[in-house]
Every structure is written in structure tokens, then in C-alpha cells.
Amino acid sequence: MKPLTNGFGFMLVFDEKAKHDWFRTRVIRALFPNKEVVNGYVSWYKQMTQQLVKENSYKISGIPGTRVDIVRNVINLAAVHWASDWLMGTPLKTKNHPIGLFTEQEMYDVLMLLCTCVFINVLPERGFFLKDQAQIFGDKVNSLIEKSIEACRLPRQRYVILRCIYIKKDHLTYLQSVFSHVASKASSFLFAQEEKACYPFLRRLAEIGIARGEMVSQVIGLSVGSSVNWAQSISQMVDFYLDDARAAERAEIVKLVQRDDAEAIELLHGYIREGQRLAPQFPGLLRQAAVTDTVDLGDGRKVDVRAGDLIFSSFYNAQHNETDFPEPNKVNPRRPKESYQNQGSGFHICPGVDFTLMTATEVVKIIFKLPNIRRAPGAAGTMASYTIQQVPGTDNRMYLDNTSKETPWPGSLTVVYDDA
Ligand code: HEM
């Protein structure tokens, strides 16, 4: 994370409590200031997912059903738009906006590279190349974020000028409105200023009073930590419930997504948490021991670690323990929600747990409402992958991308649905 942030870092790498908490409280408040803003993001996710399904669905002449690559063209791109539109303000090149800088897929690749470098850069023989590439693209993204931060302040200056004039002449309503109109035209002509979705967040971030470079670090940190990992988690969950082995659960989910009552939503949340638990986004988290110590595993076992040791804490094993999850391999949407630690725990616990649940619910609703949704026949309908055991006891799923290169990130899964 440090090379991506000019050495400054982000809450995820701040181990000093006071510094970590100072940033975490303020940055997360800037992102999620109130319920209204959060609900706005969630309805945007719903609308964006619907739009992406519509835009990317296609038919093959003579073959029944409509197809869509639900991972490559829907879930992954929703995550890219989230980071680009709502956090960084990086202009994407789309059909409706052809003058953007990166295509959606290019931006996915950049975020994937940065996320790999931050979270799964463990093999030294690959680390140098990964860091090098991440630095090159990180610098470019950072300079775009910096431009957004600069631009987001302009409307505020305009507002301040106009407000001074309002105070002096508050009885001249008509004159004010004429002046306001002319001033706003002149201002948009001079500054070519377009209000972007991310500006309110960036303005709230600016109010914290940190330096420009530190602001950039918070934005890139949040973008990397809430986009491709979100997409991976949702993709693996959808894939999990599309398996034949989960036909009964899928039938239940298909019924639940038609309902909007509290009981249905609660059960849907249960299925999402179970999908995250049984097909975890990361197989585990890596830490480097700062000091020599003994770690209590909580079940009577203890492990001695020396300073510098690399520690792998297995999500998979933790989420399969029989004490917290009786019959751990069974999908049970009624397990207590307090049992889960799908997005970390303790000091660095993910602040996006509730947000992920809310957005995932909308995405799952749209996907499982597609009539008679099923996998496309053949390779297109699977997330081509194999499992390796880099760490004893925990399977790690690796995918093949469209050039047959191995990658930890799921890239494609085509589904078919009937015409409504
Ligand atoms: C399914 C989606 C997500 C997964 C699987 C996930 C996973 C995680 C995990 C495992 C951690 C702990 C990392 C560690 O201890 O090394 C974490 C931390 C973090 N996550 Fe998430 N996350 C997700 C979504 C989000 C979202 C939507 C946000 C946006 C707010 C977010 C922001 C963060 C931040 C800022 C941290 C660092 C917290 C700290 O250091 O105090 N994540 N996430």
C-alpha cells in the first residue's frame, strides 16, 4: 500500500492505534456520512446492475435464451463504476461517454493489479514485477484522483462568491436570480465544470483538513479495497449458488428475490453470508509477526511465532469451525449473523460489511430474478479454475483468464435466461 500512496499509507497499513483510528473514523464518515447517502449508493448499484445486464445481454441466432457474462460484464463492471464514479472521478470510456480515458475493462485490470499488489503479493519471485507495474499504474490513477480533488472544490468557490452577493442584496430577488443565472453560465464556461458523483465525498474528505497527497492516498486505498474484492466475493457467491449441488438453495433464493418483506430480506442476507463463508473471497489473510510471541488459537492450541514470520490466518478454516458453525458444510441462512467474520475482524475489520450486504442484496435480486437463470452450456458457463494448496489445509482457487494466464480473480461466467 505504501508504494501506491507515495509512502504515506492508508488505514489498512497503520498499525499505530491512534493514527489508524483517527483516519478510519474520519475517512469512513466522509464516505458514509448518513443513511441517505448510503441509500443513494445502494440504489445506484441497483440501477447500474440493471443497466449492465441490459446493455450486455445478447442472443445467439437459432439458440433459445438470452446470454450475459454476469462476471466480466456485470459484476466486475459495477465495481469498476463504483470506484471510478463515486470515489476517484476517473473518466471511463463507455458507449454513452466516448471521451473517457480508460475503458471499463482497462480500469478493472488496473484495480485488479493494484489489489493483487496490496493484498496477495506473497511470492517474492513475482513481487518485483507486480510492485513495478502497480507503481506505474498507481501513479497514473493517483494523478487523476488529484485532478478530481482539485476540480471538486470549484463549485464551492462559486457558491461562496454568490452567497456574499446574496447577503448584501437579499431584497432584490429578481436581480439575484438573473445574476445567479449569468454567473453560473460564466463559471461553467470558464471552468468547464461538470459536477461528478464523487465530488460530495471528496469535499467531505477535504473537510478533514489533511494534505492533498494524504487525501489521494485515502481515495486510492478505498478504491482498491472496495471494488475488485467486492466483485470477486459476489461472483464467487453467484457461482456457488449456480452449482447443481445447490439447486435447492437456488430455488429458495429465486423465491425470496420476488419478495420485499423483512423476513425475505433477512433470509436473503443469510444466503449471502453463507455464500461468502463457503466460497470466501480470500482464502485467508497474511500478516508478518512484528515480535516473537505465542498466538492463542482459541481452541486450546497455541502457536509460537518469531519476529518476521509470515502468518497465514485461514478464513476458510475459521469459517468452518464446528463451534461457531454446526454442520459447517451445510448452507443454513438462519445462522446468527454475529458468528461471521467474512470480512476480517479486530483492529482492521472491514468497515464495508453492512454496505456490502446491502449492495450484494440488490445485485443478487437482479441476477436471480432473470427468468430460469442457469449456466451457459460448456466452458462459458463455468468460472474456469483449479484449486491449489499454497498453504496446508486451505484450498486456494485460481482462475484462468482469457489468455490462459492464471489469476486469483474470476474473469468470466456466462449465464442464460429465458425471455420474460
Ligand atoms: C465483499 C466485499 C469485501 C470484502 C470481502 C472485504 C474484505 C476485507 C477484509 C478481509 C479486510 C481486513 C483486511 C486486513 O485485516 O488485512 C477489509 C478491510 C477494509 N475494507 Fe473491506 N471488504 C469488502 C468490501 C469493502 C467495502 C465495500 C469497503 C468500503 C468502505 C471496504 C473498505 C475496507 C477498508 C477501508 C478496510 C481497512 C479497515 C482498517 O484498516 O481499519 N471493504 N476488508
Q: What is the spatial distance between Cα 222 and Cα 384, in angstroms, rounded to a whole number?
A: 29
- Sign of the torsion formed by the C-alpha atoms of 125, 131, 132 and 133: positive
* pLDDT tens digits for range 151-182: 998 654 444 444 444 444 444 444 444 444 55
The pLDDT, as a whole number, for residue 20 is 96
Q: Find out whether the beta carbon of 10 lies less than 6 Å from any atom of ligand 1.
A: no
CA distance 343 to 357: 11
Is the CB of 138 inside a 6 Å radius of any atom of ligand 1? no
What is the spatial distance between Cα 99 and Cα 346, in angstroms, rounded to a whole number?
43
Ligand 1 centroid to Cα of residue 224, in Å, is: 10
Output b/e per residue, 184-208; b: 16+ Cβ within 10 A.
eeebeeeeebeebbbbbbbebbbeb
The finding on whether 374 has its CB within 6 A of some atom of ligand 1 is: no
What is the predicted pLDDT for the residue at 182?
A: 52
pLDDT at position 154, please?
61
The CATH number of the domain holding residue 361 is: 1.10.630.10
Number of H helices, E strands in the chain: 14, 13
The residue whose CA has the least distance to atom 18 of ligand 1 is: 350
Max mean pLDDT among 155-159, 300-304, 369-373 falls in 369-373
What pLDDT is recorded for position 166? 41
For the residues 252-271, what does the mean pLDDT come to? 97
The per-residue pLDDT for 164 is: 43
- Given a cut of 70, whether residue 188 has pLDDT beyond it is no
What's the gap in Å between 285 CA and the centre of ligand 1? 12
User: Is 60 exceeded by the pLDDT of residue 183?
Assistant: no
Q: What are the tens digits of pLDDT across the range 202-232?
A: 999 999 999 999 999 999 999 999 999 999 9
Contact criterion met (CB below 8 Å) for 194 and 148 = no
**What's the 379 CA to ligand 1 centre distance in angstroms?**
32
**Strands 394-400 and 385-391: what pairing?**
antiparallel
Whole-number Å distance, alpha carbon 282 to ligand 1 midpoint, is 11
Better-scored residue on pLDDT, 155 or 191:
155
Hey, what amino acid is at 362? Answer: E
Q: φ, ψ for residue 398 (rounded to 5)?
A: -115, 145
Residues spanned by the domain of 39: 3-417
User: What is the pTM (predicted TM-score) of this model?
Assistant: 0.89
Higher pLDDT, 391 or 230: 230
Residue 273 burial by Cβ neighbours in a 10 Å radius (0-12, 13-18, 19+):
buried
Domain tally, the chain: 1
**Average pLDDT estimate for 131-157:** 84
Ligand 1 centroid–CA 1 distance in Å is 14
Atom of ligand 1 nearest to the CA of 360: 1
Query: What sign does the CA torsion over 54, 56, 62, 63 have?
Result: negative
Give 380 or 184, the one with higher predicted confidence.
380
Atom of ligand 1 nearest to the CA of 28: 30
Confidence band for 405, pLDDT divided at 50, 70 and 90: confident
Instruction: Choose the weakest-confidence range: 118-132, 346-360, 378-392.
Output: 118-132
